[in-house]
Structure 1
Amino acid sequence: MPALASALRDPSPLGIVRTRRADCITLRGTTLLLDELVDPAFFTPEARQRLRAQLAGAAPFPHLVVDGLFNPDLLTLVLEEFDTHEDGGWYDVQSSYERTRRSVLGATLGPATQLYFDLVNAGWFTTWLSDVTGTPYLIPDPLRHGGGLHESRTGGSFAVHRDFDRHPKTGLKNEMVFITYLNRGWQPEWGSALELWDAKDGQCVTTVQPEFGRTLLMPHGPRSFHGHPTPLQAPDDRPRRSVATYFYTGTPMPEQDLDRSISIFIQPRRIDAAKAMLRQWVPPILWRLAKKVTGR
């Protein structure tokens, strides 16, 4: 990913050691090659086509589960940073539907975790998500509403539910959630696997074990009911951990308002000023026809 390498070469205030010649990052003694942070095999045209078909054909609703998308050394560093995440950077959720905790909105993250979110929010990565899901111009959320670090302890659970439709601050439409699990040696008998339900039949159809390096892409829709309702019972109070983020789309601008998406110059050319004045009086349908005929 050449664009990734060039984007991560500048000096960092987070204590990341970066070298221009080797195109790598060293974090806590672990050196990560920038072009190996993700597996490029997932990004070929053939892979995109295969993943599209896999997502569309999944039951009980479209979703995608892949293993090995991210460099395991990067994910190991991310996992380590759960234990050093600042105490004030968490909020606990305790209700009749959910027992878990998440990082707070806009929390300061460790350098490896921030690098993970920089990757998934990058333009080339969101373009890949758009190709796979068929959803154009995805918008990431740098403050990670509903996402960030997720952790459940013994007894933790999340009742079957469907995610929110709109971002509460921006009003953007929720299109999908992207989750990477960080649990080594996970055993199904510990419970807390993610269940994908058929709401019409009221039963679980697909189970996703939250194993280390497994990534789930789940488009949001009227049928996308999911949760991990079986309480966690892992040995030694072992937590269930993951990192997650949501992607959004905005409301397309009406064609008659497209002029509002261009820059306004304080001293326009006379011809442009005349066109702008004329635009206010000509009906939209006639204006579009004129532009189509003149090509301007």
Structure 2
Amino acid sequence: MTKPVYAIDPETLLISSAAAREAAAPAAEAYQSQEPYAHGSFDNFLPPEVLERVKEELKELPEAESSFNRAQEKLKTSYIPERLPPYTRSLFYALNSRPFIAFLEELTGIDGLIPDPYFIGAGIHVVANGGHLDIHADFNHHGKMNLERRLNVLIYLNKDWKEEWGGSFEVWDKNMNGKVKSFVPLFNRMVCFNTSSDSWHGNPETVNHPEGEPRMSIALYYYTASWDETRKSHSTLFKPRPGTADQRDKLEARHATMRNLLPPFLYRRLAPRLRRLGI
């Protein structure tokens, strides 16, 4: 069997920082040269027994941290690590540790990456049959730590998934004129990409597994201490694909108007409550 890209010990979930950097080095040039933004896909990423144990634990899921069922993100739920079973929770901590940061810094060329101990927006993501996530650019600012979002890591948990079952991860060009690349969410495939306000991506094709299986993934986000007050923070920005029935995100448009009209301290207090109410 081919050696895993990131060969952590399945029992301890440990690897040395030196070995992690060595694993990333061969792919660094190709990753950093990708257009329209740096990205890469890695099959057989972890020792497969690691994700087999995760799948076994996730047969029973706790209460979801968040749940979306609107035009732009349909039948999508997420589960934060602290509510997950012990082995899966430990894997998240391992992917927030110094060795994995070393791997990502070597791969991306981004120095000073910072993991998110709060796992805001991260965790186990599940898209049920009939669900999808439209093309978007992610929120760009970690308000609690005042950091700039720089990198997303996705590891897929779907055995023997076929392209025709939907849910493929898509990379779109910066002008939203067309799809540049697509990755089927195969078991033990890792997709990593640099994030910005125009790194358009998503899984817009409806999940339609013949036996009703959901699309499942591990999602983690990484930051740098490069945010400054000249920058404008934003939440998730959705963009309709040309020639499709994708809908404009009216909710975000309303919030953009409120950000422009209200004093910043008032908007910061009101925004979370309004989002929970779908306003």
TM-score, scaled to structure 2: 0.72
Alignment of 1:74-223 (within 5 A): 74-86=50-62, 88-105=63-80, 107-200=82-175, 202-223=177-198
Deviations 1:135-185 (A, max 9, x none): 112111122111101001111101100111101322211011111000000
Alignment match of 1:48 (pick from 24, 31, 42): 24
On the 8 A contact 2:146/2:227 being kept in 1, the answer is: no
Q: Which residue of 2 aligns with 1:66?
A: 42
Secondary structure in 2 aligned to 1:154?
Answer: strand
Q: Which residue of 2 aligns with 1:4?
A: none
On the 8 A contact 1:163/1:220 being kept in 2, the answer is: yes
TM-aligned CA deviation for residue 33 of structure 1:
4.2
Amino acid at match of 1:141: D
On the 8 A contact 1:193/1:208 being kept in 2, the answer is: yes
Amino acid at match of 1:144: F
Distance in 2 between residues matched to 1:204 and 1:193, nearest whole Å: 12
Would you tell me which structure has more helix in proportion to its own residues?
1
TM-aligned CA deviation for residue 252 of structure 1:
8.3
- How many residue pairs match? The answer is 221
Distance in 1 between residues matched to 2:89 and 2:166, nearest whole Å: 29
Match status 1:57 vs 2:36? no
Amino acid at match of 2:199: S
On the 8 A contact 2:136/2:202 being kept in 1, the answer is: yes
Q: CA 1:106–1:176 in structure 2 vs 1: closer, same or farther (change >3 Å)? A: same
TM-score, scaled to structure 1: 0.68
Amino acid at match of 1:170: M
Secondary structure in 1 aligned to 2:83?
Answer: coil
Alignment match of 1:236 (pick from 197, 211, 215): 211
Q: CA 1:56–1:98 in structure 2 vs 1: closer, same or farther (change >3 Å)? A: same
Q: Which residue of 2 aligns with 1:270?
A: none
Gap runs ≥5 in structure 2: 1-7, 229-279
Deviations 1:254-285 (A, max 9, x none): xxxxxxxxxxxxxxxxxxxxxxxxxxxxxxxx
Q: CA 1:52–1:101 in structure 2 vs 1: closer, same or farther (change >3 Å)? A: same
Secondary structure in 1 aligned to 2:95?
Answer: helix
Distance in 2 between residues matched to 1:251 and 1:184, nearest whole Å: 38
Amino acid at match of 1:225: W
TM-aligned CA deviation for residue 62 of structure 1:
0.8
Amino acid at match of 1:211: L
Q: CA 1:73–1:107 in structure 2 vs 1: closer, same or farther (change >3 Å)? A: same
On the 8 A contact 2:171/2:180 being kept in 1, the answer is: yes
TM-aligned CA deviation for residue 114 of structure 1:
1.2
Distance in 2 between residues matched to 1:201 and 1:89, nearest whole Å: 32
On the 8 A contact 1:138/1:248 being kept in 2, the answer is: yes
On the 8 A contact 2:132/2:206 being kept in 1, the answer is: yes
TM-aligned CA deviation for residue 104 of structure 1:
4.5
TM-aligned CA deviation for residue 69 of structure 1:
2.1
Distance in 1 between residues matched to 2:137 and 2:65, nearest whole Å: 23
Distance in 2 between residues matched to 1:252 and 1:194, nearest whole Å: 28
TM-aligned CA deviation for residue 89 of structure 1:
3.5
